[in-house]
Structure 1
Amino acid sequence: MYAAVKPLSKYLQFKSVHIYDAIFTLHSKCTVALLLACTFLLSSKQYFGDPIQCVKQKDVDIAMDYIHSYCWIYGAYMQDNVTLAPSRRVNALLECRPDVVGRQVAPENRRYIRYYQWVVLVLLLESFVFYLPAFLWKIWEGGRLKHLCDDFHKIAVCKDKSKTHLRVLVNYFTSDYKETHFRYFASYVFCEILNISISIVNMLLLDIFFGGFWTRYWAALLALFNGDFDRWNSITMQVFPKCSKCEVFIGGSGGSDSSYDFLCLLPLNMLNEKIFAFLWIWFVFVAGLVTLKFLYRLATVLHPGMRNQLMRAKTRFMPMAHLQLALRNCSFGDWFVLMRVGNNISPEIFRKLLEELYEAQSLMKKIPPGADEI
């Protein structure tokens, strides 16, 4: 099992330079790792058995491999009137009571369970979709932050080289890169909007995939939180039954079809109901975070004072007058790149960078450094 998920540990390793913020990482990288881990779990037959297992009747001379394949392809079924308080007959069907399961269920009352054929593929597809914003941003970012910050991690013990690279950063931020930085910021915001869109569309599509059950999962989770396992089972078995029936048609020697009923177990549904309960919580949590992060992004765009306060907190409360002068010619894109740089170097070095920018702006305005000390 560990060998199957070991590659994910390399995917989640921390880099020396972070091109994503924490919420972006949770939404894209951590969610992708979680979905791939669930995919590995559900596809590991050696740990959880076959996805469907049918019981053979003594008087039926049909190979079990054929029965399993037939019921997997054409779908097992259950009675189509399962409610939050299922009837005794339906409970018996779901609890695999042979005395009741042996009775026929009318075709018009059957609800076929075929989604289990697609669960692994859906989880795999979700992992690709959730990774899309991170993939796009990695291409559009182009290694800019690594170029600006990586040397500080390599030369941390060499003060002379650190000062040299600090001067390189000062020259970079005093140059005119406003258009480049605006495209950099716009690309990142587009990826954040894509994160929100993926979260919302993903939950809507899962609701369609489970026939309207996904949006009602909170009731099952509430029952589980309260320790009411009977209610948890009665709710989750609507979409994750552990026992069902399968009708197999075999051509007779005279050309007519003969039908046989088989009782089938769906052992993976024990895992499915718990995996999707956790994913329900995770998707709601992540969707809320990316929405709040986007609102925060709008606030920083619309409120310049907020940008100054955030930058001041990053520089260990550098005097506001010095900070305003250092950022005098900075556009919003420049501010955004500066904040990204500040997230990847130590606060002490970042403050030195802003102090160097302040001195550079002071020389441009011919104001002696420290003249406006407060």
Structure 2
Amino acid sequence: MDFIKQLKVFVRPDSKVCVDNNIFRICTKLTFMILGIMVVLVSSKQFFGEPIHCIVDEIPQKIIDSYCWFYSTYTLSNRMIGISGRDMLQPGVSSDSAGFNDTVKYHSYYQWVCFTLLFQAFCSYLPYYIWKSFENGRIKALSEELKQPFLEDEAKTKRKAALIFYVKENLNNHSYYAYRFYLCELLNCAIAIGQIYLTNLFLGGAFLNYGIDVMRQDAAEPMTRIFPKMTKCVFHKYGPSGSVQKFDGLCVLPVNVLNEKIYLFLWFWFFFISVLSILAVVYRALICSLPKLRYKLLRTRARLASPRDIQYILIRFNVGDWFMLYQLSKNIDALTFKEICRELSTELYSNNFTLK
């Protein structure tokens, strides 16, 4: 629980500076936190005890538990439907496996669930980490102290002058900065969609329709088929005369009670963030191609600024400059940003400034 508490930093918004957007944080930081919590739950024995319990006569309990955990268990696919206790012991478990070798389904994924979820968590966080490395505190340095509504006039004047000077000197040179964020959004979309196919591959092709099957049918049937609670395990050892003896055991997998709920939630979550990330990419493409949309978005952020000042600025700005200014608008007090827009529009059209 102490580890889970530490994960709250990944969803807590940064009060000092904002260099991304809500969708980007949901798909990266929030997803990382959710997967991190699931890793803790799966690897914890506090709620579900040992992940596997097997029953085999004459074999010590710890040995058979470890063996069946390492070397996988199995169920019989054609014994999933029927009445427990009459047609089979439990869904997929029958005392007679003769003639059903072609329907044997082995289950070994459960020993890798923790590591797979951890890998997926780091994949989700990767675009955010890359963007933070690229951004390298630029917006924080430019907007320092300007977020405060009550700032001494002398200090405010110096900070505004420094910001305007930076914008003039680097006009039309922010494309690389903006496109790196756009590429991180595209990477975020690719990872969100890739999470679905990675999980589907991990679960043997049973994940793509998992949520639909659970909603369409009795929830117990698809969950039991993919995450059986009872399975079989065969253990071989040498007998007193040196002959090989076969022991047919039953195994209970308490961990699958948790796994089935985790992957049901992940089915909805991965499709949700995939749709969000696709919409974010489409939205970004519209921004790059529609100057009027960029104007409206900046007007929304700079509510106090004059529309004429915004128009003057955007005539001189390209997409990269717009992105940089839009990021600054998130981190500067509205009244101060209004003054910056007015002074910047004046500077851009003054006789002392020549466009590069």
Q: Normalized against structure 2, the TM-score is what?
A: 0.91
* Superposition deviation, residue 76 in structure 1: 1.0
Report the equivalent of 1:76: 73
Say which SS state the counterpart of residue 332 (structure 2) adopts. coil
How many residue pairs get aligned? The number is 349
2:183 is aligned, of 178, 181, 190, to 190
C-alpha separation in 2, matches of 1:55 and 1:150? 65
C-alpha separation in 1, matches of 2:332 and 2:90? 58
Report the equivalent of 1:348: 335
Tell me: CA distance 1:193–1:93, structure 2 relative to 1, closer, same or farther (3 Å).
farther
Question: Is the Cα contact below 8 Å between 2:178 and 2:323 reproduced in 1?
Answer: yes
**Superposed CA offset, 1:67-110 (max 9, x none):** 00110011111112366xx23369844369xxx74344543332
Report the equivalent of 1:94: 90
* Superposition deviation, residue 212 in structure 1: 1.7
Report the equivalent of 1:370: none
Tell me: CA distance 1:328–1:82, structure 2 relative to 1, closer, same or farther (3 Å).
farther
Say which SS state the counterpart of residue 316 (structure 1) adopts. coil
C-alpha separation in 2, matches of 1:82 and 1:300? 55
1:148 is aligned, of 142, 161, 169, to 142
* Superposition deviation, residue 158 in structure 1: 2.2
Tell me: CA distance 1:82–1:138, structure 2 relative to 1, closer, same or farther (3 Å).
farther
C-alpha separation in 2, matches of 1:82 and 1:156? 70
- Please tell me whether residue 61 in structure 1 is matched to residue 58 in structure 2: yes
C-alpha separation in 2, matches of 1:147 and 1:46? 46
Question: Is the Cα contact below 8 Å between 2:73 and 2:231 reproduced in 1?
Answer: yes
Report the equivalent of 2:40: 40
Say which SS state the counterpart of residue 248 (structure 1) adopts. strand
1:207 is aligned, of 186, 200, 205, to 200
- CA root-mean-square deviation: 2.2
* Superposition deviation, residue 42 in structure 1: 0.2
- Please tell me whether residue 219 in structure 1 is matched to residue 212 in structure 2: yes
1:176-325 matched pairs, under 5 angstroms: 176-179=170-173, 181-223=174-216, 231-316=218-303, 318-325=305-312
Q: Normalized against structure 1, the TM-score is what?
A: 0.87
Report the equivalent of 2:345: 358
Tell me: CA distance 1:139–1:267, structure 2 relative to 1, closer, same or farther (3 Å).
same
* Superposition deviation, residue 120 in structure 1: 0.6
C-alpha separation in 1, matches of 2:206 and 2:79? 12
Tell me: CA distance 1:350–1:94, structure 2 relative to 1, closer, same or farther (3 Å).
farther
Tell me: CA distance 1:283–1:254, structure 2 relative to 1, closer, same or farther (3 Å).
same
Report the equivalent of 2:6: 7
**Superposed CA offset, 1:10-36 (max 9, x none):** 333321112221111111111111111
**Which is worse superposed, 115-124 or 307-316?**
307-316
* Superposition deviation, residue 342 in structure 1: 1.0
C-alpha separation in 2, matches of 1:209 and 1:337? 41
* Superposition deviation, residue 276 in structure 1: 0.8
C-alpha separation in 2, matches of 1:320 and 1:364? 22
Report the equivalent of 1:372: none
Tell me: CA distance 1:6–1:199, structure 2 relative to 1, closer, same or farther (3 Å).
same
Report the equivalent of 1:371: none
- Please tell me whether residue 26 in structure 1 is matched to residue 13 in structure 2: no
Give the letter for the 1:242 counterpart: K
* Superposition deviation, residue 163 in structure 1: 3.2
C-alpha separation in 1, matches of 2:39 and 2:202? 17
Report the equivalent of 1:168: 162
Say which SS state the counterpart of residue 271 (structure 1) adopts. helix
Say which SS state the counterpart of residue 204 (structure 2) adopts. coil
Tell me: CA distance 1:332–1:82, structure 2 relative to 1, closer, same or farther (3 Å).
farther
* Superposition deviation, residue 247 in structure 1: 1.1
Give the letter for the 1:210 counterpart: L
Say which SS state the counterpart of residue 351 (structure 2) adopts. helix
C-alpha separation in 2, matches of 1:39 and 1:5? 10
Question: Is the Cα contact below 8 Å between 1:93 and 1:244 reproduced in 2?
Answer: no
Give the letter for the 1:193 counterpart: L
Question: Is the Cα contact below 8 Å between 2:53 and 2:65 reproduced in 1?
Answer: yes
In proportion to residue count, which structure has more helix? 1
Give the letter for the 1:49 counterpart: G
Give the letter for the 1:346 counterpart: D
* Superposition deviation, residue 189 in structure 1: 1.0
Give the letter for the 2:110 counterpart: Y
C-alpha separation in 2, matches of 1:69 and 1:119? 17
C-alpha separation in 1, matches of 2:225 and 2:91? 13
C-alpha separation in 1, matches of 2:31 and 2:326? 25
Question: Is the Cα contact below 8 Å between 2:76 and 2:94 reproduced in 1?
Answer: no
C-alpha separation in 1, matches of 2:250 and 2:342? 75
